[in-house]
Every structure is written in C-alpha cells, then in structure tokens.
C-alpha cells in the first residue's frame, strides 16, 4: 500500500480524512474529481496510517473488549438459535482475548450484491449442514472503521440508500428467511468518483459530511515529484514504505493524540456565531451544515494541538463542509467552491 | 511552423513492438486501443499482438453485452446443486488472469462494465462480494480494446483510454509486410527479469513530465506509463539505463494519442527558456530513491526533441484538429455523451437481477433459482411444502432494466429576424426556466438554433446547463426562418439519442413564419411545405414535441404544424412560467411512457 505520508499534495483530501479519523461523527468524505489523481490510493492508505484499535479477538463486528472485569457484550442480537449458539461458543469457551488490529478500511467492490453488503444466510452451512447461520457482510467488517466506495456515482440507487441509512443509524438490521440480526455498523463512509461518468443524486450529496474536489496538479515540480515517488514505490514497495515509516509513525501519534483530545477542545460563542453566519449567508438549510462545520473545526484544532478552536481552524475545512450543501442554482456559473470561498473571505477576512 | 504532412506510421507504432512491450509489463501498461473499423489488417494486427503471449496465456473476447454475472462471476447454480456446497463460477476477468481480454466494439461498452475493467486493471485482482461468495481472485489482464467509433461518435470511455498505455491507429498503420517479426517468448522472459532494475535518470523523468504537460495531458498516469514503457524499451535492447532514444520513443507511443493541445513554445523557443529551470521539487524529493543521477535538469534540446518525437507520432487528423484548437470541444462532446453510456444500461440489455420490492417487474427465473438453490436442503428439513423446488418470496428476483430511461430534451429555438422581433429574449427566458426544471429532473438538454439559411447545433446533449444558458445568451437573432432545417436537425439529434438507447423530447420555440425551404431557397410556400414534411417525419419517429408559439398573436401555421407533429401547442402570450413548465413536464412524461 502506497504510504499516506508519501502522497504529494491533495492536502484538503488528506486533512478531511484525518479529521474524520479524529472524529468519526463528522460523517464521511466525498472525493470527486479528475482521473489519475490518486483518490483511491489515499483512501486505501488510511489503514496503515491510523492508530490501531482494540477488539475482541475473532469478533466479526470488531467490538471493543469490555472494560476490565466485565463480560464482553455480544454485538449481534440474533434471535435464531443457530446464531445464538455460534455466538455462545465463542463467548463461553475461553475468556475473550483483546487484540489490536489496524483500523478496518473496507472496500466495497463494484458489483457487490446486497446480501454480501448487509450479510445473509451462510450458504456453506445451509447447504452442507442444513442449518441457518448469519454470515456477516461488509457492513459488519467496516464497523469502527471506514467503508470506501470507489465510483460511488455508479453504485445502484438502492444500495446507496441502504448504505446511507445504515451510516446514519449506526446499526445494521437484517430480517430475512427467519434470520433476524441486528449489529452495530458505525463506520465513516468515503465515496469517490469522477463527475463525468455521472453525477451523484443531489439528495445524497449532503449526506456526506465533507466534500472535496480533487484536481490534477498542473505545476511541473509537483507532477514530477508525484511520478518520481510513484515510480520509486512500484520498483520497491517494501523499501519505499519502510523509508516513509518514520513520517507515518509521527503522523499516527499526532492523530492518536488528537483523538484523545478532540472532545476537550473548547469553542466559544463568537466562533459558534461565525459558523452560523457563514451557513446563513450561503443559504444552507438545516442544522447539519452548522454541526458539521463545528465538529470539523474542533477536529482540526485538536489535530493542530490547540486547546480552543480558532477561526483559522474553522477556515481550513469550511469549504469542504459546505460546498456540497449550497442550494444548487444550475444557472449560476460560479462554482460552489468559489461561492464558499467568497463568503468565507467576506466573513473572516483574508 | 514546419507542420509535417500527415505522418506515416513510424516503425515505433508497429504492432510487434507494442506487443512486446505489453507482454513484458502488462500490469503497468494495461493494454492497447486499436482504433478503426473492422478489416483484415486489424485482425492481423490482433494476431500479432497475441503472438507475444505464451500459448498457455488465456485469451477471451468480451462482448459489450456482458453482465456482471459473466464478467465478475458468481454462484454456479448447477455445480452448487450437484456438489451440495456453494461453487463459484469464475467470470471472464478471473478466468483471463495472466492473459488478454479482447473487447470488440469497445466504444459501446456501458460505464458499469468499464468501471469493473478499470478496477481490475488498477489492482490486478478481482474482489468478489457476490451471491454469498466473498473472495479475491488474481486478475492481471491486458486489454485489447477495439474502438470502432466513427469520427462523429464518442470513442472508448475515457476511464479506459486513461489506463491503456498504447493506441494503434489503423489509418496510420504500415502495410503488414513492413511489420517486424514478433519477439520470441524466451527473449521477452529475459527482458522481464531486467525490467525493475533499469535506471531512469532524473533528467529524463523531468523531460517526460514536461512533454506531457506541454501536450496538455492532465492525468499523471500517462507520464508514469511512459516511464515504464521507456524501461521496457531499454530492457528489450538489453540496456541497463534508459537513454534519450527510449524516452523519445516512449513519449511518442504513450503521449501522441493523448495530446489535447500543441505545445505553446514549440516554435518560438526563446533562448532564455533554457536558463529558467523548473522550480526545485519539494524538499523531501531528494530522499526518494529514484534519484540516481546528478544531472537533474534535462537540456532544453532534449525537451524539444521529445516534443518533436511526439509530434511526429501524432495520429493523422489529430494534428489538424490540434492546430485548429478544436480538439477540446471534441472531447467535451465526448464527455457529454459519457452520460449516454452511463445510462444506456438502464434498458435494452438486461442488467442482471435485483430483489423484488413491492410488486411488478419481470421475474428473472435464473437469478431466482440461484437464490433459492442453496437453501433447498434447509427448507426441505423445515417446510412441508410439496413440489421439488421450494421458492419463497425472498428468493424472487426481477430483471433490472425496468428502471427509468434517460431523457434528453432538445430545445429548438427560432432565432430568425421575425422571431427576434417577436420577443426572442422572452423565448430565451422561457428556455432558462425550463432548463432549471430539467436540472431538477436530472435530464440532459441539447440546443439547436435555426436562422438565416440553416440550423446549427449549439450544444450536443449535455447536463451542463450553465453552458446551455451561455450559448443561448450569446445567440444572435436575424435572417430568414428555415423551419424545416431546424426540425430536421432536431430529428437527427433525437434519432442519435434513441440509438444510444435514451429517449428524447423536443421543445420547439418559433413564430411559425417559415420562409426558407430545406435547400436554403427563400419562399414562404415551399418553406411551409418543407416544414410540414419535416413535421411528419417527427411524428413518424414518435418523438413527443411541444411547440411554443412565440408570436404576439397565435399563428395558424404554427398551430397546424403542431397538429402535423402530433404535439402540444402553447402560444407564449398565454404561457407564464408555470404553464410552460407544466407543458414541458407533460411532454417529457409523454417521452417516458411512449418509448
């Protein structure tokens, strides 16, 4: 996997992903833009970058170990006997062991069918033993991590609806063929795509917390550097990754610290007011924009090591938090980004 | 400028060389586009390309009508039932691992299939999460895409051209007896072991990037593929360092068909240009291992020679288009049509199956059986139903092409002198309102204007409504009213839209005062007769039409014309924005139900 820290440029996307890793409640990132800019590379490199998480060994839902003394809670509430038995076996046999695993970054491959996404009857066991068991799907695997959909604009509508629904509720419910399973599915949804191949339904746009426009760098030195690093990586992936590991470790520590601190970062009334004004001026409806704006600003502040959110923190990802929520005027030629930029400049100065 | 005449195929572009390069490094070079209609020469070319692969390497032809089941694979129903456990049926991608996939009529490939191929080319593997099967299969394939698009049609999807390093243009190909012999597998094997260790001096790398930028090639995949092409060329010559000739040849092979503009400084070449080095790369650059040469700057000469190498290899026709500066627009047109490609799978060919929700839909028998099959053992033990196969409601699958088809609204605007008098501005205003409505429905629009002696397509079908407004705003008025030409142009667009599998509706804004006949000759009588004839063609094609009469008083001929088309008639004086919108919506609705 190409190391996150070796990616040249694409600062907004990188910061947006880091912010979501610091505070998953920000609500995911949509990266739309040019081909050949390494969108997927950046997202997929997250797993190796982020601080590992504690889970119960072998738990299909990546559940955290119970606090000392307590019993690990079974994640899935299953009503069928078979599933209950399967769960019981793992719970009773040996005391659950806690292990560290990399943050799951689950790729939703193109052509995935619904049964594999939400989970379904375990075919193998149904056929060979004639018993009903629930086989968890991709949503279970993504719990506490990231779910990445490349070409999200090409995904079938009913799958997109389903994913957004689960992402919003944090829970996956499967009712099928006598199976009734409900398990936590809290993940950060990351989508990417190329708008030329089809736009995302406008209704779905604002369900993403942040939206980033990815452009190909046009200046020669940056382009040369991209090609150089990519070439070096392809010739010797292991060596290249090792070379960047120091940087990666540094960034990992920084993110881990920010994760611990983010909920203690203070924000004063003046900042809240600015955020509200910004949203008002841009005519974004609903509270979601404001809420995201604040959460993102707090994550950025925590990442910067600040104790209090400053305007400069708010500014950094404000365009990403707002540009996809503007009421779209198809006849306005100014891009959403420049409208947000303008509003920020008027409100916050340069 | 010493513009070369249409360049004949240089030996660089020979199928044998491209075959060798591809076989050497399929993972990084992806494949080749062969542009041109079917011919024996093309077949020979494909043969030549395949000859570089060992006999054992799988070869598959992929029909453009492929579905996910065939391409990706899924549960093998018969085998699953026979074996009593889930058996995976490998799709074309998995079955061609280590080999070549040939795609005829690649320009017609739906975006869904394109995206799956692109993902496989990127990763060299196939992740399957289908039908209860979760696995990853190796799928390192090279693609030979046969692009048979004619000049005015959209070619292969950009997502694929982007990932295929080479392009063979049949028009520029040397006769077969001039092709060198293909290389034997043995020497290819030796070259392959050398590949990764071949050094690329930094100055060459910089020159390649400069050339890509100069020719307006945005994607960074192109220079990367050129680097590996240069390595492969060096490997074939048993060199251990890439030299300038390799770089020039690689640039010609990879860049020539991607060029979107001519280099800005190609001929001016101010002498101080060389004195200004590109800004130093970001600080960490010196850390990367690629640095193997002290001389990091290419000489101005080298860059110039590189540009020249690419120029010599530009496909015929492209040079003229680039010089005229109209390639950008050609490409944008292609983008507009990308929408067509994306939507075409919503009808016509089956897209596979989806779960039955609610009622309705045609039952997809095979998919339903496939869903039910693995559960038979289970059901036999728990349900006391008669019959051999136990199918429950949960199993039911329906065909998936039932979903809505894309609609293209073709605006045909009368910009003649008489119309200009009669409130062309208001007609424009009305269209703007309609455009906003199209946006909400996510329809595409096309814009045709007619005035003077003929009609002009201002905008091919697109979803870029801001552009539609801009071209409308810049539309001058004046001249005669060639109504027949306008209608013909509209029919032409609609037919093209329908061929691509989408539906169309026409909104015609005119005062109906036709006075230019189809052949451009003035005269009211013939003009009106021609317009009626064109109207009947529209009716025969069954294209729903709304005629908005823009004259101050409703015109009898406009009304008659609407009747001839079998369309809706709406006089503008009576039409406020709301009414107009309703009428267009009704027409569009008609467009959905009719076809």
- Higher pLDDT: B132 or A203? It is B132
What confidence tier does B424 reach under pLDDT thresholds 50, 70, 90?
Answer: low
**Mutation choice for B interface testing from A130, A218, A224 by most B CBs within 10 A:** A224
Dihedral sign of CA atoms A63, A67, A72, A77 in order? negative
pLDDT score recorded for residue B82: 76
Cβ of B335 within 8 Å of Cβ of A114? The answer is: no
Is-contact B43 B58, C-beta < 8 A? Answer: no
Q: A227 is written with which tokens?
A: 């090609």
Under DSSP, is residue B409 helix (H, G, I), strand (E, B) or coil?
strand
Residue pair A302/A260 in contact by the 8 Å Cβ criterion: no
Residues B114-134 have pLDDT tens digits of 999 999 999 999 998 888 788
Please say if the pLDDT value at position A280 is more than 90: no
User: In the prediction, which pLDDT does B141 show?
Assistant: 95
- In terms of DSSP bridges, do strands A134-135 and A120-121 run parallel, antiparallel, or are they unpaired? antiparallel
Cβ separation B375–A197 shorter than 8 A? no
Task: Give the containing element (helix H, strand E) for B456.
Answer: strand B454-462
Of B72, B159, B374, the CB nearest to A197: B159
Band (B439; pLDDT cuts 50, 70, 90): low
Considering only A53-57, A285-289, B29-33, B421-425, which range has the smallest mean pLDDT?
B421-425
Interchain proximity B115–A110, CB inside 8 Å: yes
Chain A 263-302, residues with CB within 8 Å of chain B CB atoms: none
Percent of chain B with pLDDT over 90: 22
Cross-chain Cβ contact B442/A201 below 8 Å: yes
H/E/C letters for each residue in chain A?
Answer: CCCHHHCCCCHHHHHHHHHHHHCHHHCCEEEEECCCCCHHHHHHCHHHHCCCEEEECCCCCCCCCCCCCCCCCCCCCCCCHHHHHHHHHHHHCCCCCEEEECCCEEECCCCCCHHHHHCEECHHHHHHCCCCCEECCHHHHCCCEEEEEECHHHCCHHHHHHHHHHHHHCEEEEEECCEEEEEECCEEEEEEECHHHCCCCHHHHCCCCEEEEECCCCCHHHHHHHHHHHHHHHHCHHHHHHHHHHHHHHHHHHHHHHHHHHHHCECCHHHHHHHHHHHHHHCCCCCHHHHHHHHHHHHHHHHHCCCECCHHHHHHHHHHHHCCCCCCCCCCCCCHHHHHHHHHHHHHCC
The answer to whether A82 and A163 are in contact (CB under 8 A) is no
Residues 151-180 of A with CB under 8 A from B: 151, 154, 156, 158, 176-177
User: Shortest CB distance from A330 goes to which of B218, B357, B436?
Assistant: B436
Interface mutation vs chain B, best among A3, A228, A339, most B CBs within 10 Å: A228
| Cβ-Cβ contacts under 8 Å, B227 against chain A | 227, 231
Annotated catalytic residue: which of A254, A288, A325, A342? A288
Report CB contact under 8 Å: B378, A132. Answer: yes
Tell me the two tokens of residue B484.
Answer: 């027949």
Write the ipTM.
0.85
Is B229 at the interface with chain A, CB within 8 A? no
The tokens for B197 are: 């260790």
Mean pLDDT of chain A: 85
- Picking from A116, A128, A219, the nearest residue to B134 by CB comes out as A116
Asked if A332's CB is within 8 angstroms of B466's CB, the reply is: yes
**Which chain B residue's Cα is nearest to A135?**
B132
**From the CA of B176, how many Å to the nearest CA of chain A?**
35
How confident is the model over B347-385, as pLDDT tens digits? 344 556 777 665 555 667 777 777 777 777 777 776 655
Q: Does B171 touch chain A (CB under 8 A)?
A: no
Active site residue A141: no
Q: What is the tens place of the pLDDT at every residue in B234-282?
A: 999 999 999 999 999 999 999 988 888 777 654 433 333 333 344 443 4
Give the residue from chain A lying closest to B226, CA to CA: A227
Rg (alpha carbons) of chain A, rounded to whole number: 22
- Cα–Cα distance measured from residue B385 to residue B128, given in angstroms and rounded to the nearest whole number: 34
pLDDT at A287: 83
Q: Is residue B587 pLDDT above 80, yes or no?
A: no
Q: How confident is the model at residue A124 (pLDDT cuts 50, 70, 90)?
A: confident
Total beta-carbon pairs less than 8 A apart between chain A and chain B: 204
Retrieve residue A3's tokens. Answer: 């190391």
Burial of residue B204 (number of CB atoms within 10 Å: 0-12, 13-18, 19+): buried
Helix (H) or strand (E) holding B380: helix B376-382
- For residue range B63-108, list pLDDT tens digits in order: 887 888 889 988 777 777 777 778 888 899 999 999 999 999 998 8
A71: pLDDT confidence band, cut at 50, 70 and 90? very low
Window 76-115 of A: residues touching B by CB (8 A cutoff) are 107-115
What pTM, to 2 d.p., does this model score? 0.74
CA–CA separation, A319 and A14 (whole Å): 14
Say if the Cβ atoms of A177 and B394 lie within 8 Å. yes
Q: Which two tokens stand for residue A302?
A: 């925590």
Instruction: Give every CB contact of residue B379 below 8 A, 6+ residues apart in sequence.
Output: B385, B390, B392
- Taking only residues 180 to 219 of chain A, the set having a beta carbon closer than 8 angstroms to any beta carbon of chain B reads 194, 196-199, 201-202, 216-219
Name the residue among B202, B374, B436 with its Cβ closest to that of A126: B374
Q: Does pLDDT of A21 surpass 60?
A: yes
pLDDT for B373 equals 77
Residue B591 pLDDT grade (very low, low, confident, very high; cuts 50, 70, 90): low
Put simply, the chain B residues between 400 and 429 with a CB less than 8 A from any chain A CB are: none
Interface test mutation site (partner A, options B130, B212, B220, B379, max chain A beta carbons within 10 A): B220
User: Within its chain, how far is the Cα of A342 from the centroid?
Assistant: 28
Check if A254 contacts B (Cβ < 8 Å).
Answer: no
Chain B residues near residue A221 by CB distance under 8 angstroms: 278-282
Q: What is the pLDDT of residue B419?
A: 66
A117, A126, A231 ranked by CB distance to B224: nearest: A231
- Interval B30-52: pLDDT, tens: 999 999 889 999 999 999 899 88
- Strands A120-121 and A171-176: what pairing? unpaired
- Helix, strand, coil shares, percent, chain B, to 5: 50, 15, 35
Q: Which residue of A has its CA nearest to B382?
A: A130
What separation in angstroms does the CA of A2 have from each of A110, B159, B196, B311?
A: 21, 22, 17, 34
- Report pLDDT for B5: 36
Report yes or no: A185 and A172 within 8 Å, Cβ to Cβ. Answer: yes
Distance CA B242, CA B235 (A): 9
For residue A350, what pLDDT is reported? 59
On average, the pLDDT of chain B sits at 77
A333 chain-B contacts, CB cut-off 8 A? 466, 470
pLDDT at residue B595 in the model: 41
Decide: B71 and B92 in contact? Cβ < 8 Å: yes
Closest chain A CA to residue B75: A123
- A221 touching chain B per CB within 8 A: yes
Structure tokens at A116: 């594999």
Distance from CA of A68 to the nearest CA of B (A): 35
Q: Are B288 and A236 inside 8 Å of each other by CB? A: no
Average pLDDT over residues A307-315: 93
pLDDT band at A326 (very low <50, low <70, confident <90, very high): confident
What are the backbone dihedrals phi and psi of residue A151, each rounded to the nearest 5 degrees, phi first?
Answer: 55, 45
CB contact under 8 A, A113 and B342: no
pLDDT by residue (tens digit) across B191-237? 888 888 899 999 999 999 999 998 889 899 999 999 999 999 999 99
Q: Which residue has the higher pLDDT, B424 or B115?
A: B115
Contact A34 B218 (CB under 8 A): yes
Kindly report, residue by residue over B307-316, the tens digit of the pLDDT.
Answer: 887 777 776 6
Distance between CA atoms of residues A259 and A30, nearest Å: 22
* Structure letter (DSSP) for residue B488: H
Alpha carbon distance B506, B242 (integer Å): 58
């Amino acid at each position: 996997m190409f190391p996150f820290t070796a990616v040249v440029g694409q600062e907004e996307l990188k910061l947006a992903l880091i912010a979501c890793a610091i505070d998953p409640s920000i609500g995911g990132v949509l990266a739309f833009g040019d081909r050949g800019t390494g969108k997927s590379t950046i997202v997929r490199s997250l797993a190796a970058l982020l601080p590992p998480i504690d889970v119960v060994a072998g738990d299909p839902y990546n559940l955290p170990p119970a606090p000392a003394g307590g019993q690990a809670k079974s994640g899935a509430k299953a009503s069928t006997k078979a599933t209950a038995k399967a769960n019981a076996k793992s719970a009773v046999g040996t005391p659950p062991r806690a292990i560290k695993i990399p943050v799951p970054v689950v790729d939703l491959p193109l052509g995935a069918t619904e049964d594999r996404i939400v989970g379904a009857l375990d075919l193998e066991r149904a056929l060979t033993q004639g018993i009903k068991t629930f086989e968890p799907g991709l949503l279970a695997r993504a719990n506490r991590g990231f779910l990445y959909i490349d070409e999200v604009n090409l995904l079938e509508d009913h799958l997109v609806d389903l994913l957004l629904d689960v992402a919003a509720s944090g829970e996956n419910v499967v009712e099928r063929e006598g199976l009734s399973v409900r398990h936590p599915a809290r993940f950060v949804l990351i989508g990417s795509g190329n708008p030329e191949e089809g736009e995302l339904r406008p209704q779905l746009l604002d369900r993403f917390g942040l939206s980033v426009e990815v452009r190909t760098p046009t200046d020669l030195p940056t382009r040369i550097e991209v090609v150089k690093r990519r070439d070096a990586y392809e010739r010797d992936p292991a060596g290249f990754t090792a070379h960047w590991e120091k940087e990666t470790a540094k960034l990992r520590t920084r993110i881990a610290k920010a994760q611990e601190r983010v909920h203690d970062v203070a924000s004063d009334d003046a900042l809240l007011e600015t955020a509200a004004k910004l949203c008002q001026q841009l005519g974004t409806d609903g509270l979601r924009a404001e809420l995201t704006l604040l959460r993102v600003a707090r994550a950025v502040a925590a990442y910067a090591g600040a104790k209090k959110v400053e305007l400069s923190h708010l500014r950094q990802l404000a365009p990403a938090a707002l540009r996809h929520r503007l009421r779209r005027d198809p006849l306005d030629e100014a891009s959403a980004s420049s409208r947000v930029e303008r509003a920020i400049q008027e409100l916050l100065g340069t | 400028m010493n513009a070369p005449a249409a360049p004949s195929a240089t030996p660089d572009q020979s199928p044998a060389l491209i075959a060798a390069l591809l076989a050497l490094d399929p993972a990084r070079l992806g494949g080749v586009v062969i542009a041109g209609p079917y011919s024996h020469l093309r077949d020979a070319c494909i043969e030549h390309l395949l000859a570089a692969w060992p006999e054992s390497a799988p070869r598959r032809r992929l029909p453009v009508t492929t579905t996910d089941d065939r391409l990706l694979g899924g549960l093998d129903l018969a085998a699953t039932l026979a074996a009593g456990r889930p058996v995976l049926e490998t799709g074309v991608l998995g079955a061609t691992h280590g080999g070549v996939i040939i795609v005829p009529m690649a320009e017609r490939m739906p975006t869904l299939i394109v995206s799956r191929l692109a993902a496989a080319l990127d990763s060299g593997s196939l992740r399957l999460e289908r039908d209860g099967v979760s696995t990853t299969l190796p799928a390192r394939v090279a693609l030979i895409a046969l692009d048979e698009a004619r000049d005015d049609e959209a070619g292969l999807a950009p997502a694929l051209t982007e990932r295929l390093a080479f392009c063979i243009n049949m028009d520029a190909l040397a006769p077969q007896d001039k092709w060198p012999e293909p290389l034997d597998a043995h020497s290819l094997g030796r070259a392959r072991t050398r590949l990764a260790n071949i050094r690329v001096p930094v100055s060459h790398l910089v020159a390649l990037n400069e050339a890509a930028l100069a020719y307006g090639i945005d994607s960074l995949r192109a220079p990367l593929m050129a680097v590996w092409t240069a390595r492969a060329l060096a490997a074939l010559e048993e060199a251990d360092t890439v030299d300038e000739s390799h770089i020039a040849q690689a640039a010609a092979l990879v860049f020539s068909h991607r060029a979107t503009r001519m280099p800005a400084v190609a001929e001016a070449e101010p002498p101080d240009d060389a004195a200004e080095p590109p800004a130093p790369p970001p600080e960490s650059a010196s850390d990367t291992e690629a640095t193997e040469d002290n001389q990091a700057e290419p000489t101005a000469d080298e860059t110039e020679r590189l540009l020249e190498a690419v120029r010599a290899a530009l496909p015929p026709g492209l040079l003229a288009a680039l010089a005229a500066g109209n390639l950008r627009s050609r490409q944008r047109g292609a983008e507009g049509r990308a929408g067509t490609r994306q939507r075409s799978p919503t009808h016509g060919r089956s897209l596979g199956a989806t779960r039955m929700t609610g009622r309705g839909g045609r039952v997809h028998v095979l998919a339903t059986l496939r869903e039910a099959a693995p559960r038979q053992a289970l059901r036999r033990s728990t349900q006391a139903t008669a019959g051999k196969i136990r199918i429950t409601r949960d199993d039911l699958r329906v065909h998936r092409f039932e979903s809505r088809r894309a609609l293209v609204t073709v605006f045909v605007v009368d910009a003649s002198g008489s119309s200009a008098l009669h409130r062309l501005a208001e007609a424009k205003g009305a269209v703007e309102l309609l455009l906003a409505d199209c946006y909400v429905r996510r329809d595409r629009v096309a814009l045709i204007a007619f005035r003077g002696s003929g009609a002009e397509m201002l905008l091919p079908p697109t979803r870029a409504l801001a552009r539609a407004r801009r071209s409308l705003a810049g539309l001058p008025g004046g001249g005669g009213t060639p109504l027949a030409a306008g209608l013909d142009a509209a029919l032409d667009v609609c037919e093209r839209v329908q061929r691509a599998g989408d539906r169309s509706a026409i909104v015609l804004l005119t005062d109906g005062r036709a006075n230019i006949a189809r052949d451009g000759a003035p005269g009211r009588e013939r003009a009106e007769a021609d317009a009626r004839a064109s109207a009947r063609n529209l009716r025969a094609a069954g294209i729903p039409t709304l005629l908005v009469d823009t004259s101050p008083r409703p015109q009898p001929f406009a009304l008659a014309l609407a009747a001839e088309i079998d369309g809706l008639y709406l006089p503008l004086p009576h039409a406020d924005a709301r009414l107009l919108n309703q009428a267009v919506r009704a027409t569009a609705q008609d467009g959905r139900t009719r076809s």
